[in-house]
Every structure is written in C-alpha cells, then in structure tokens.
Amino acid sequence: MSRKLLLENAHIEGIRYYDVYRKNGGYRSVEKALKMTPEEVVEEVKKSGLRGRGGAGFPTGMKWSFIAKPEGVPRHLVCNADESEPGTFKDRYLMEFLPHLLIEGLIVSSYALGSNTTYIYIRGEYAWIPDILEQAIAEAKANGFLGKNILNTGFDCEIYVQRGAGAYICGEETALIESLEGKRGNPRIKPPFPAVKGAWDRPTVVNNVETLAAVVPIINMGGEEYAKIGVGRSTGTKLISACGNINKPGVYEIDMTISVEEFIFSEEWCGGIKNGKRLKACIPGGSSVPILPANLLLKTAKGEPRMMNYESLADGGFATGTMMGSGGFIVFDEDQCVVKNTYTLARFYRHESCGQCSPCREGTGWMEKLLLRLEKGQGKTSDIDLLWDIQSKIEGNTICPLGDAAAWPVAAAIRHFRDEFEWHVTHAAEAQTRNYGLAHY
C-alpha cells in the first residue's frame, strides 16, 4: 500500500468545501508557515527534494531561491493549471475534488516567495473548474486565510483565477505569462527565466498545480520527513493519471518505490491489461515523452525491474529509456498500431504549434503528412528515413519545448518500432484495413 499525502482525504464527502476541509486538518500548514520566515519555508521545500510535477522535474526549492528581489518591485506566483499534455489529467482531479489543498499550497508558497498577487492560469477546456476554485478562494478569504493581514501576520495575499482559451502552448510558462498579460500566447526566449523577468517583467515563479499542493504536506511534516518517502532524488509522492488499455484507468498517488510492472498489473493500481490482452507499449509521462515497448518498459537495459520514478524511467537515456514527465501514463495493448497512434500525436502537435519557429511550424506539418501517408499504406521506405530526418532537425532548434515534444514521440516510435513502419510499406493493402499488432513480431 503506497503512502498518500495529497489524496489521503479525497474520499471524504464534502471535502471540496471549507468546513469539511478545515475539520480534517486543512490550513494547518498556513498557520505553521506564517509563524516561520519566508526563507525558512523555502528551506523546508529545498530539504524536501520536491521536483516540479508539471513534467520537467526541476527542483522546486532551487527555483524558489532563484527569484529575484529587486527593491520595490512586486513578485508573483503563478499556478500553471493549463494541464494539456495528452494523457494527463491529475491536476484536474486535484482541483475538482480538493480545491482547498491547492489554495492552501498557494497561500504558503505565496508567503515564501513574497507574492501578494497570485494567479491560477487554467486551461479553457476545464470550463467547470474555475467556479470550484473561485468558491474555495471566497471561503478561504471569508475565514481569514486570504486577503489583508492574513492571521494577523501582516501578510496580504489575493488569488485570481485566469481562464485560458484552449491553447496547449499556453501551458509553456512564458507563453502562459504572455497570455496572462493579455497577449497572444507566444513563448519567450529563456533566459531570462521568469524567476528574474516574468509577468509584467516582474520576478515570477510558475509552478504546476500538483507541485503547489505538495507544499502542504511538506510544511506539515517537515522537509526532511518528506524526503524520506521515495527513493534517491525521487522524493515524496507523485500523482499518475493512468489511461489506455487497462482495467482501472484513474488518478493514483504512488510513492515512487513501486515497479512499472506492479503499477500496470496489480489490482491496487491499473489492474492489468483490458480484455486479457498483452501489453505492447507505454508512454509513461504524457504524450511528449518517448514510447517504450513492453520489454524495455518493464526492465531496464541492465535487466533490472524498471521503477516508477524519475531516475529509473529515464535509465538508459532515449536509447532504451524514457521520462517520468507529467505522469500521464498511456498504456497500449497488442492491438494498438504505433504508426496510427504516432500520427494522432503528430496531428495534435501540428495543430498546437504556435508557428513562431520554422522547424516546429513546418516540421510538425511534414511529420503529420508523412505519418498519415504511411498509416494509410501509401508510404515508401524512404519516408521513414525522411521522418527520422525531420524530427532530428526539429529537436533542440526551437524557442520552447513544443518542438522537442513533437519530435520525441516520432523518434521513439521509429527507434523501437521501425519494423511496424516498414510493415505499413510492405503490406500496404493490409495496413488500410487492420493494425500491425504484436502477432507480427
């Protein structure tokens, strides 16, 4: 049984509302943190080893300590609730069922960073959630946890919810900031990082929903205790949104000491592959991380069981490993066609490219066209090489990581499933009527 720090109270009826949340220990971390100095709060987060839960896994305490503090210039905390990575829906779950956990984490984090005006930027498609968040904010304010002079400490904080308009690119932190400022969501060149020059050119920390929620147990239990959970640099717990061909899709909290095999096949988690089929492959960290075939997914290249943590999932680099990413865990059974699924992703990235950088704007379109051609059995072997060439010219050549995110799934699909691409060329007629599947191995 994995330890639960975030979802521990998710089953309690009415936990979405202040009274029930407070009765079950809510807002204790605010009471505790506001008796500490902001620097001490940052220190606890550093000690916890918490890494950003949006996908990049950057150490949160370190990011916080980078925030510039020019005299007289306001600083901002922005919560990135633009969760748009295909296969990722864990932040939605947190905001929908435990909104006060996020608000509590935001108050403590705002105090630590010196942000008196804090924003939640939420994707437009989560249309029903801003009302839930705004109600939680109003309840927190009515009970003295937000507004002026919080708990008589002299700390003022307001939280505003800003709705996006449904663009994946606005989850990239600098595009998000542009959008927050009322402009088109085009990513900015980094550096300068937002911690130095962010919203309205002010020092700004952008953190993911789950990261900010994790600050609550960190303050309650202390950074050192939090760091004891997990393994190595994968401390604490991680939310995983599991989907695809599994028996029990859903949002799970794991403590990063379980194996991938246990996570997929145990009744406690995904409950195995649907309809008694075999496991073919998995994208474990949201659509932009590399797909792995079952053999590499369950065991590392060294033959050790692959574990559900940052280091183990990445073991072997992109040659034989992948990434933890956002925790969007997409499972494919033996009937899934890798070419078709890669095409679906390529179509998504082409649609979502902001168009600023030529390699991404043009390259995503070419990849989509080639993949569709191959998928329909109208491709040539040279198309596979061309596809490889295009993805390699997008990677690393764009302002923001959307280019990499579009290139990596294509690269991994060809690297691990080249025979499946070739089958689509050699079995052109069949390719149009049925999927490749495991049977062809």
Residues that bind ligand NAD (CB under 6 A): 52, 54-56, 58, 63, 66, 83-85, 88, 171-173, 193-195, 206, 286, 288, 325-326, 401, 405
Nearer to ligand NAD, 213 or 273 (CB): 213
Query: How many angstroms separate the CA atoms of 78 and 364, rounded?
Result: 30
**Least distance (Å) between residue 189 CB and ligand NAD:** 12
**Least distance (Å) between residue 353 CB and ligand NAD:** 13
**Least distance (Å) between residue 424 CB and ligand NAD:** 28
Name the residue with the smallest CB distance to ligand NAD. 55
Strands 238-244 and 328-333: parallel
Nearer to ligand NAD, 52 or 403 (CB): 52
Residues 6 or more apart whose Cβ sits within 8 Å of residue 265: 271, 272
**Least distance (Å) between residue 376 CB and ligand NAD:** 28
Query: Minimal CA–CA distance to 239: which of 254, 259, 219?
Result: 254
Nearer to ligand NAD, 29 or 84 (CB): 84
Query: Minimal CA–CA distance to 173: which of 200, 207, 130, 202?
Result: 207
**Least distance (Å) between residue 167 CB and ligand NAD:** 12
Buried b (16+ CB within 10 A) or exposed e, 105-131: bbbbbbbbbebbbbbbbbbeebeebbe
Nearer to ligand NAD, 126 or 423 (CB): 126
**Least distance (Å) between residue 207 CB and ligand NAD:** 8
**Least distance (Å) between residue 39 CB and ligand NAD:** 18
**Least distance (Å) between residue 214 CB and ligand NAD:** 14
DSSP 194-258: TTTS-GGGS-EEEEEHHHHHHHHHHHHH-HHHHHTSEETTEES-EEEEEEESBSS-EEEEE-S-S
Nearer to ligand NAD, 54 or 61 (CB): 54
The backbone torsions φ and ψ at residue 281, rounded to the nearest 5 degrees and listed phi first, read -165, 175
Query: How many angstroms separate the CA atoms of 51 and 199, rounded?
Result: 22
Nearer to ligand NAD, 79 or 405 (CB): 405
Distances (CA, A) of 287 to 68, 88, 371, 413: 33, 8, 16, 12
Question: Do 135 and 143 meet the contact criterion of CB atoms below 8 Å apart?
Answer: no
Distance of CA 239 to the CA centre of its chain: 9
Q: Give the tokens for residue 204.
A: 């700004």
Nearer to ligand NAD, 26 or 286 (CB): 286
Nearer to ligand NAD, 286 or 321 (CB): 286
